[in-house]
Amino acid sequence: MNIETKDVLGMWKEYTLTNDLGMSVSVLDYGGIITKIIVPDRNGNRENVVLGYKNYQDYNQNSNYFGALIGRVGGRIQGASFELGNKTYNLAANNGNNHLHGGPEGFHQVIWEVAPFLTEEAVGLSLTHKSMDGEGGYPGNIDVTVTYTLTNENELDLNYLASSDQTSPITLTNHTYFNLSGSLKNTVHEHRVAIDSSKFVELDKELIPTGNLIHVEGTPFDFRDDRLLGDGFNDDTEQNKIAGNGYDHYFILDHISDTQVTVQEPASGRVMTLKTTQPGLVLYTANGLAEDLNLAGGLSRKYLGVCFETQASPASLHHEGFPSVILQAGEKYSEQTVFTFSSK
C-alpha cells in the first residue's frame, strides 16, 4: 500500500493510491476528480478503466464532468429554481433553462482540502470543503467530507458526509465514466449490465423528469437480468431516443440484491460491482460525448463510457414520490457507494 503525490500545472495535486494487488486510483484535489483507475484483466494486464483527459489543463473546462465530485445537487433541477419554506431559490441555468450538477460554482470546480491516510488494510484520501450560504443560489453553510478508500480487496469506497446550518437540498455523487475494455479499446456496447431496479423515471425532451415512473418490464430499461448496454442504443423506444439514443435516466433501486449493479466486459474478463446506500442512480452512456476530445488512451467518441451516478432525485423538488434531496438543518447527510473490481 502506498500513496504518491505529484504537482499538476503548478496549481493542483494528484494523489495516486495503490494497494498490495497493484490496483491504483488517481485523484486530483481539483474537483475531487478521479483521473485514472488501473485494474488487471483476466490475464493480469493492468489498464486504465475510466475516461480522463490526456492534458490536465482540459479539466479546467470539464463540461463532461469526467471523474468529478458533483454537488450540491447531482442532476438537473427543473427551471433552475425550487421552493423551500415558502421561499423561491433561483439557481444558475447552465443547461438550457435548467440547472445541472450544482451549476458553474459546483463542487467539480473547487479545490478540496485533502488529507491522505494509510492503514494496514487500506489507503485513502479525506476531501473536505465548506460551501457558504448563498453559493450557487443555495441556502445554508454546508460542510462536506468525501472519503476515497482503496482496500486490498480491490474495493474503491466512496463515503459522503455533510451537514448544514439551514435546511437545504443536497445529493452528492461522482461522475466517473467507466470502460472496462481497458485503455479505451472499445465502446461500451458490449458491456453487460445488471441493475437492481424495476422502475425508472420518464424524461421530457429537455431531459427533465415528467413526474412519471415507468416499470422496466418489456423495455430496454429492464436490467434486472443482465443485458447489453447496446440494446438501448439503437432501440426505437421513445425514452432511448429522447436521451440521444441511449440512457440518461434515473433508476429507483429496489435494494433486493446484495449488489445494486454488476458490469461485465467479456473481452477483458473485467467485472465491476456497485453497492450503495443511495435510493437510486442515473445511468448515463455518454450519448452526448463529442468526438474530438483528447483523452488518455485516444480520442473521445459517443458511447465510450458509462456512468453510474448514485444519488437521490432532484425531481423530488418539483414532484411527489421521488427520493428526497432535502437535508434538514442540523441533521447529518451520510451515504456510501462501493465499486469492487475483479476478473473472470
Q: Give the whole-angstrom CA distance, residue 257 versus residue 260.
A: 6
Which of 289, 273, 280, 228 has its CA nearest to residue 249? 280
99 is catalytic: no
Q: Report H helices in 106-185.
A: none
Q: For the chain, what's the residue count? A: 344
Q: Give the C-alpha distances (Å, rounded to integers) separating 209 from 60, 163, 217, 241.
A: 29, 27, 19, 15
Catalytic residue among 175, 191, 265, 335, which? Answer: 175
CB neighbours of residue 52 within 10 Å: 24
Task: Let me know if 132 is exposed, middle or buried by CB neighbors in 10 A (0-12, 13-18, 19+).
Answer: exposed
- What phi and psi, each to the nearest 5 degrees, are found at residue 81? -160, 160
126 HSE (CA, 13 A, CB side): 8
Q: Give the whole-angstrom CA distance, residue 137 versus residue 72.
A: 10
Amino acid at 196: D
Q: Which 8-state DSSP code applies to residue 241? A: H
Q: Give the C-alpha distances (Å, rounded to integers) separating 150 from 38, 159, 278, 340.
A: 12, 12, 20, 10
Q: Which 8-state DSSP code applies to residue 95? A: B
Q: Give the whole-angstrom CA distance, residue 137 versus residue 143.
A: 16
Catalytic residue among 14, 47, 135, 309, which? Answer: 309
83 is catalytic: no
Positions annotated as catalytic residues are 175, 309
